[in-house]
Structure formats: structure tokens, C-alpha cells
Amino acid sequence: MDPAEDEELMLASGRGDRAAFAKLVRNHLGRSNAIAVRMLGSAAEAEEVVQEAFLRVWQKAPTWRKDGGARVSTWLARVIVNLCIDRRRRARSVPLEEVPEMADTAPGADDVLALEERRQRVAAALAELPDRQRAAVVLSYYEGLSNAEVAGALEISVGAVESLLVRARRSLAGLLADLARTEGVVT
């Protein structure tokens, strides 16, 4: 994702350029969806959040100001995280049966079962984290955003990001301690 291109696409979208908006959606759909799925633990709910987020992009575009502060990608990440947090506050439940599917790369049936169980445990552990800790892990660990970008998305100081990550990973380590012990290094 190129921030300069994002800006141009956003400004063009603001002028009603539907092709520019379509390109903006194409560029950001994958990451937006990944953030929402990991935040919510549900692909179906994530889809609704992503649609709402891109509607806001379209509606916001005419009043978007170049050099107005946040990058498009950071602003979009903030919109998605906030929509996910709002949604979770409204319905405090994460349906584990909707943990996203992945291409089967395990060699045997037992391994597939074990892998699926492990995924569900990890998804459940993530879901147990407080909203901001979970968002920090999703944005930093899974999406590879810099601390400055995570800080922009969560509207916190850059210094606070690291301590948020430390608390999140320590909680995850505690919640998944038995798995880590029994399965050893899993890469």
C-alpha cells in the first residue's frame, strides 16, 4: 500500500471518481477484512464491518484533506477497529464455530484436528483480551503496522503501544500456557 497513491485515490473518490474508489477498495479490502476477522472472530460479522467501513470511506472522501493528519490506511484501520469494538460491546459473544477456515496444509487427519483445535484456542484467547489489547496485537503482530501506525489507529501515544502489546502477549501466554507446553515450538 502506497500512502501517496492512497491520498490521490481518496481525493479522486471525493470528486466522485468511482473507478478511483474501486481501486482504493481493492487495495485495502484484504487487510481490512483480516483485521475485522481477527477482531471479531467471525467472518460474517467482519464482512458487515468492512462494508460499513468502506461506505464511510466513500462518504468521507469529499471532505478528506490532504496533509490533514492521518494516512488513509491508518484512518481506515481506526474506523474498522472502532466498528469492531462497538459491535463486540453490543453483543458480547464470539462464535467459535466461525473461526476462519484456512487451506489444509497438514499431512494427516489427526494433525488437521489438532491444528483446528489449536486455532480455536488461539481465537478464543484473542477474544478474551480487552478490546485495545486485542487491536494492538492484530494491528502490530498480524498486520505488521509500525508502532506509530498502531498509535494512530488506536488514538494513543506511541509509547503506550509497546506496553499494550506486552500486556496482551503476557495474557495470551497465560491463556495458552498448556498448549505451549504440550506442543512445544510451533512454527
Partner 1 sequence: MNAKRLEQILAAYGAKSERWPEAERPDALALLARDAQAQQLLRDARRLDGLLDSLPASEPTLDASSLAARLSERPQETAKVRSLAASRPRWRIPFIMPNLIGLAAAAVAGFWIGWTNPGTDNTQVAELVPYVADMNGEESLPW
Q: Is 34 in the site for partner 1 (CB under 8 A)?
A: yes
Q: Is 47 in the site for partner 1 (CB under 8 A)?
A: yes
Dist. CA 6–CA 1, nearest whole Å: 8
Quickly list H helices, the chain.
3-14, 18-40, 43-60, 72-90, 109-128, 131-137, 147-154, 158-175, 177-183
Residue 3 CB-density burial (10 A; 0-12 exposed, 13-18 middle, 19+ buried): exposed
Query: Which grid coordinates are listed for 88?
Result: 463486540
Site for partner 1 in 142-181 (CB under 8 A): 142, 144, 147, 162-163, 165-166, 169-170, 172-173, 176, 179-180
> From the list 1, 2, 3, 62, which residue makes contact with partner 1 (rule: CB under 8 A)?
62
* Least distance between partner 1 and beta carbon 86 (Å): 19
> From the list 10, 39, 50, 80, which residue makes contact with partner 1 (rule: CB under 8 A)?
50
Report CA torsion sign: 1, 4, 50, 25.
negative
Dist. CA 149–CA 144, nearest whole Å: 10
Contact positions vs partner 1 (CB under 8 A): 13-14, 16, 18, 21-22, 24-26, 29-30, 32-34, 37-38, 43, 46-47, 50-51, 54-55, 58-63, 99-102, 115, 118-119, 121-123, 126, 137, 140-142, 144, 147, 162-163, 165-166, 169-170, 172-173, 176, 179-180, 183-187
